[in-house]
Amino acid sequence: MEDGFVVGGEIDRVQVSVRISGDTLAPDRITRMLGVQPTFAAAKGEMIDRGGVPVTQRTGMWCYELPPSNEWELSDAVRTLLEQLPADPALWESLAAEFKTDVFCGLFLADANRGTELSLETMALLVERRLPLGLDIYGPL
């Protein structure tokens, strides 16, 4: 409660991932560079299964995602994700020079009014790695 008014509260569910994409992306190379197994990876032109439907991957993609959780606050989720990947700024600089990179966040709301913020420390981790932050916000239906 703030000044007698009830405010929305925290985001109900957070999903975060690091995404790297590009036409020349070789998923095995990215896996070796980052030292973690992706939750999804495919080369451009590869046939992938999308819910039982085979589709051709339009561009190369490497993605590492934390399990979605109702327990995460956005800043903690992003920090936890980045702590599982190398911190070397030169590595991230080389990836950003060759591919599109970002941290992608899905924010799921049970009510119309929710809020969150990123700590300065979490923002610094993103900046050090040259990772833009993308947000998709899903409201109640």
Mean pLDDT for 52-74 is 91
Q: Is the pLDDT of residue 64 over 90?
A: yes
Domain boundaries, position 109? 13-138
Q: In this structure, is residue 50 part of a structural domain?
A: yes
More confident residue, 68 or 102: 102
Number of domains in the chain: 1
Q: Is the pLDDT of residue 22 over 50?
A: yes
Mean pLDDT for 20-38 is 97
What rounded mean pLDDT belongs to the chain? Answer: 91
Q: What is the pTM of this model?
A: 0.87
Beginning with the edge strand found earlier in the chain, give each strand of the sheet holding 133-138 in spatial order. 40-42, 60-65, 13-22, 100-108, 133-138
Share of the chain above pLDDT 70, in %: 94
Beta strand ranges found along 1-141 (DSSP E): 13-22, 40-42, 47-50, 53-56, 60-65, 100-108, 133-138
**Burial classification of residue 42, based on how many CB atoms lie within 10 Å of its CB (0-12 exposed, 13-18 middle, 19 or more buried):** buried
Amino acid at 76: D
Mean pLDDT for 97-119 is 92
pLDDT band at 6 (very low <50, low <70, confident <90, very high): very low
Q: In this structure, is residue 97 part of a structural domain?
A: yes
Q: In this structure, is residue 75 part of a structural domain?
A: yes
Per DSSP, the three-state class of 125 is helix
Q: In this structure, is residue 5 part of a structural domain?
A: no
Q: In this structure, is residue 7 part of a structural domain?
A: no
More confident residue, 43 or 72: 43
Q: In this structure, is residue 113 part of a structural domain?
A: yes
Q: In this structure, is residue 124 part of a structural domain?
A: yes
* pLDDT value of residue 141: 63
